[in-house]
């Protein structure tokens, strides 16, 4: 038995009812596990032609070497497939207790392939794997289905990840859900699971996880636990979760996208999450092995009980100007139960309300609902129509682009102001944006280059703190000043220029976004929670993971090895996305968002991201990543540097592999803080080249020669 790993990957062929066992070692040495191994398995399976909802797609559920161990935050499951929302990589993760159980059953990953002829669930009890009839549970909401399966199995210790009716009906933005409140959302992984007729994966494991040096491993984990418990952020999240964060973001106008807050009056005091928690919260809770307990458990009389954390607060509340707290709670809970991504639901409804306000749509489009801001009947009716794929809801279930095409065909161009309804959709690559607007420069870059138009893949957390500190609810002035100054110093260190720490600046932001992307790749591969990193200011970093892995695996793991694996994974993902058609042009924010000032809260009338500014940040980002400035595809040299030789050969055979020009410095890859200087030089070079077209042509010829010889 291999240390820390279960050692086996379970591949379930639902078409033929077969199972196959693949050794984890095939991937682990290069990709560590979790998101890394998932990405590699996805690369080997899909391409641009794969139908996301067809049998050729896969859904991979993955844990990492530290999942299920004593390392803090050991609970994450990474879920990957080709997304029916973006037609690119669909990646989400969820916490809870599922993957820890999977590891204890001796498995690192479960991959669903093919399509079952009738609804089934996958049953795993240690080495015993069965594909079982799920027809009795088909149609049941997540909570009810999981309770029924557990009851029928006669053992409450089974851990289950399932889909709700949303996933069964293949609503493109359906989520997977584990236990109560643990959702893997945003990219339609639930819809893909539904397309395979797979209701759930049910796991019980009692085999344990072997550790090479238990004493040293315990010490490394103890150190990480105590490190987290010693941070200021822990003290806050442990007591009140993300309530203060959410309130701060609303106050400075970050939490709502597009026109949602353009014409809105102040949100302050209209929706007070803290009061809601005091009234209806009964318990703090969290995932397996986590000291933070960031989630709130609620029981609202007449509606029911559920668990809530993170972005659920503003999305279906403030963003829709839905100030009826009990109704907000009801919709959130139904998103869990029916298995839909609440962010997508909120952003789509916000889009419809914008179109309604602009007079572009009316009841003839919306099944008779008046899409006025905060209209309870419209929100609830449309939600259920999406879940059940009825009427206009059936159109919305296909995603924003399909819905825009439908509306454009029905509404004359002049009524649309000469534009497509898609112009008003807050989306990146058709993925409804997480509310936070692109008016904050670092976030605009993160949304553009990230993998799913939100802040979970790349992010500028320094900017977050700097812009939200002035309105942070629980800090006094001295605290605000101290945190802001500390974060500005960090931004200066990483970005290499004071502009990086300045919300009005563009230069140096790419280094911050890249650094966060690199950092959260670490927990994503080892299978722990990214919130414990600097992502939420708890600063677990590569050395902590390396120390635990060294003790647990019984071989020396250097922090650099893990950082390298994180970067390798990101380049692999990017290569796959480029293979499926993603280019520099796709890395953007909605056209409508350019040059818009913040329209609400503390930053009202300020900031806004310009097109040139975003392009400049993207160029710096590509420079740091080693991606082609023109296309955004990783250079051959970059892929080779991370040992992705076969990927390079693959892209070359498709004729899309760029060669790194000789004159292009690779310094930014080693020292991201210099990217802004190198980009200044590059822009100067381009300007000069534009002045002397003959010289430029010669250069191009020599590059082409080089490419041919290579």
Return residues touching another protein (CB under 8 A): 68-70, 74, 97, 100, 104, 143, 147, 156, 180, 205-211, 214, 217-218, 221-222, 225, 229, 238, 282-293, 297, 299, 304-307
In angstroms, the CA 550 to CA 526 distance is 13
H or E segment to which residue 634 belongs: none
With respect to another protein, which residue has the nearer C-beta, 30 or 229?
A: 229
Nearer to another protein, 307 or 433 (CB): 307
- Closest distance of CB 247 from another protein, Å: 17
Residue 53 or 290 having the CB closest to another protein:
290
| CB-nearer residue toward another protein: 157 or 702 | 157
Cα(579)–Cα(644) distance, integer angstroms:
14
Q: How far is the CB of 438 from another protein (least distance, A)?
A: 36
Secondary structure element (H or E) that encloses residue 579, with its range: helix 559-579
235/704 with CB nearer another protein: 235
Q: Which is nearer to another protein, 104 or 673 (CB)?
A: 104
Between 182 and 462, name the residue whose CB sits nearer to another protein.
182
- C-beta of residue 115 within 8 angstroms of C-beta of residue 196: yes
Distances (CA, A) of 383 to 162, 184, 341, 393: 20, 19, 11, 7
What SS3 state is found at 218?
Answer: helix
Compute CA distances 185 → 63, 584, 650, 668, whole Å: 17, 25, 30, 34
Give the β-pairing of 8-13 and 109-113: parallel
Question: Taking the complex as a whole, how short is the minimal distance between the CB of residue 304 and another protein, in angstroms?
Answer: 6
Q: Which residues contact 690 (CB under 8 A, 6 or more apart)?
A: 696
**Residue 419, C-beta contacts closer than 8 angstroms, at least 6 positions apart:** none
Q: Which of 257, 159, 249 is nearest to 200 (CA)?
A: 159
Q: Locate tokens 């230069």: which residue?
A: 507
- Whole-number Å distance between alpha carbons of 39 and 147: 32
Report the nearest approach of another protein to the CB of residue 491 (Å): 30
Question: Whole-angstrom Cα distance, residue 242 to residue 432?
Answer: 22
CA separation for the pair 74, 295 (Å, rounded): 16
Structure-token match 């307990």, residue found: 293
Ramachandran angles phi, psi of 497, nearest 5° = -150, 145
Minimal distance in Å, beta carbon 66 to another protein? 10
**Is 286 or 432 the residue whose CB approaches another protein more closely?**
286
How near is the Cβ of 54 to another protein at its closest, in Å? 35
Q: State which residue, 307 or 449, has the beta carbon closest to another protein.
A: 307
Nearer to another protein by Cβ, of 334 and 457: the residue is: 334
Looking only at the bridges linking them, the beta strands covering 198-204 and 120-125 are parallel
Distance of CA 114 to the CA centre of its chain: 25
- What is the DSSP secondary structure assignment for residue 596, as one 8-state letter? P
Residue 49 phi, psi dihedral angles, 5° rounding: -90, -20
Question: Token pair 């293949």 is at which residue?
Answer: 170
Q: Is the separation of the CB atoms in 273 and 449 below 8 Å? A: no
By the 8 A CB rule, do 624 and 676 touch?
no
Q: CB 30 → another protein: shortest distance, Å?
A: 25
Both tokens assigned to 186: 């945003």
Min. distance of Cβ 184 from another protein in angstroms?
19
Phi, psi of 128 (to 5 degrees): -85, 120
Nearer to another protein, 288 or 468 (CB): 288
Tokens at residue 586, please? Answer: 């796709």
* Minimum separation from the CB atom of position 499 to another protein (A): 39
Q: Among 494, 526, 444, 483, which residue's Cα sits nearest to residue 624?
A: 494
Residue closer to another protein (CB basis): 52 or 65:
65
Q: How far is the CB of 546 from another protein (least distance, A)?
A: 19
Nearer to another protein, 212 or 402 (CB): 212
* Least distance from another protein to the Cβ atom of residue 100, Å: 8
């Amino acid at each position: 038995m291999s240390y820390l790993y279960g050692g086996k990957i379970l591949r379930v062929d639902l078409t033929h009812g077969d199972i196959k066992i693949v050794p984890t070692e095939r991937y682990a040495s290069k990709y560590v596990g979790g998101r890394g191994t998932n990405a590699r398995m996805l690369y080997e399976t899909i391409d641009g032609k794969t139908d996301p909802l067809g049998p050729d797609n896969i859904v991979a559920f993955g844990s990492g070497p530290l999942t299920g161990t004593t390392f803090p935050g050991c609970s994450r499951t990474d879920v990957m497939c080709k997304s029916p929302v973006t037609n690119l990589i669909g990646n989400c993760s969820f916490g809870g207790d599922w993957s820890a159980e999977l590891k204890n059953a001796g498995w690192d990953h479960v991959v669903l392939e093919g399509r079952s002829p009738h609804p089934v669930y996958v049953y795993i009890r240690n080495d015993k794997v069965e594909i079982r009839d799920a027809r009795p549970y088909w149609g049941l909401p997540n909570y009810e289905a999981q309770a029924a399966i557990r009851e029928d199995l006669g053992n409450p210790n089974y851990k289950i990840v399932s889909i709700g009716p949303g996933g069964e009906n293949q609503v493109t933005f359906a989520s997977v859900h584990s236990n109560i409140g643990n959702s893997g959302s945003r990219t339609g992984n639930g819809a893909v699971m539904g397309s395979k007729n797979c209701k759930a994966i049910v796991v019980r494991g009692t085999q344990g996880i072997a550790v090479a040096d238990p004493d040293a491993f315990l010490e490394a984990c103890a150190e990480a636990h105590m490190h987290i418990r010693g941070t200021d952020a822990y003290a806050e999240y442990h007591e009140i979760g993300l309530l203060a964060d959410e309130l701060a973001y609303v106050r400075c106008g970050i939490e709502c996208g597009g026109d949602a807050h353009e014409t809105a009056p102040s949100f302050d005091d209209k929706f007070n999450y803290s009061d809601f928690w005091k009234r209806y919260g009964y318990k703090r809770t969290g995932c397996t092995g986590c000291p933070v307990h960031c989630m709130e458990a609620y029981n609202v009389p007449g509606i029911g009980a559920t668990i809530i954390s993170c972005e659920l607060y503003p999305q279906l509340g403030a963003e829709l100007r839905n100030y009826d707290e009990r109704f907000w709670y009801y919709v959130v809970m139904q998103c869990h139960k029916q298995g839909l991504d609440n962010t997508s639901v909120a952003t789509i409804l916000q889009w419809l309300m914008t179109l309604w306000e602009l007079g572009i749509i009316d009841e003839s489009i919306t099944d008779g609902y008046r899409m006025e801001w905060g209209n309870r009947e419209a929100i609830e009716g449309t939600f259920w129509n999406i879940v059940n794929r009825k009427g206009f809801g059936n159109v919305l279930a296909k995603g924003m682009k399909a819905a825009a095409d439908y509306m454009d065909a029905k509404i004359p161009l002049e009524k649309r102001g000469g534009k497509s309804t898609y112009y008003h959709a807050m989306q990146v690559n058709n993925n409804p944006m997480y509310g936070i607007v692109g008016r904050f420069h670092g976030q605009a870059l993160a949304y553009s280059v990230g993998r799913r138009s939100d802040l979970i893949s790349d992010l500028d957390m320094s900017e977050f703190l700097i812009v939200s500190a002035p309105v942070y609810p629980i800090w006094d002035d001295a605290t605000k000043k101290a945190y802001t100054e500390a974060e500005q110093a960090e931004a200066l260190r990483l970005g290499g220029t004071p502009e990086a720490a300045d919300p009005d600046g563009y230069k140096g932001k790419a280094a911050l976004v890249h650094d966060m992307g690199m950092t959260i790749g670490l927990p994503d591969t080892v299978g722990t929670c990214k919130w414990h990193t600097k992502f939420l200011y708890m600063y677990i970093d590569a050395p902590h993971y390396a120390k635990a892995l060294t003790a647990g695996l019984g071989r020396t793991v250097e922090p650099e090895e893990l950082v390298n694996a994180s970067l390798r994974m990101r380049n692999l993902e990017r290569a796959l996305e480029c293979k499926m058609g993603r280019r520099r042009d796709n890395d953007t924010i909605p056209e409508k968002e350019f040059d818009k000032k913040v329209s609400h809260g503390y930053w009202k009338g300020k900031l806004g991201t310009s097109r040139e500014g975003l392009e400049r940040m993207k160029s710096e980002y590509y420079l740091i990543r080693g991606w082609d400035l023109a296309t955004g595809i990783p250079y051959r040299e970059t892929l080779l540097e991370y040992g992705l030789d076969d990927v390079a050969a693959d892209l070359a055979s498709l004729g899309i592999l760029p060669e790194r020009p000789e004159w292009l410095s690779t310094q930014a890859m080693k020292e991201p803080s210099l990217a802004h200087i190198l980009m200044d030089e590059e822009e100067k070079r381009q300007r000069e080249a534009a002045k002397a077209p003959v010289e430029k042509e010669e250069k191009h010829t020599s590059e082409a020669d080089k490419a041919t010889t290579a």
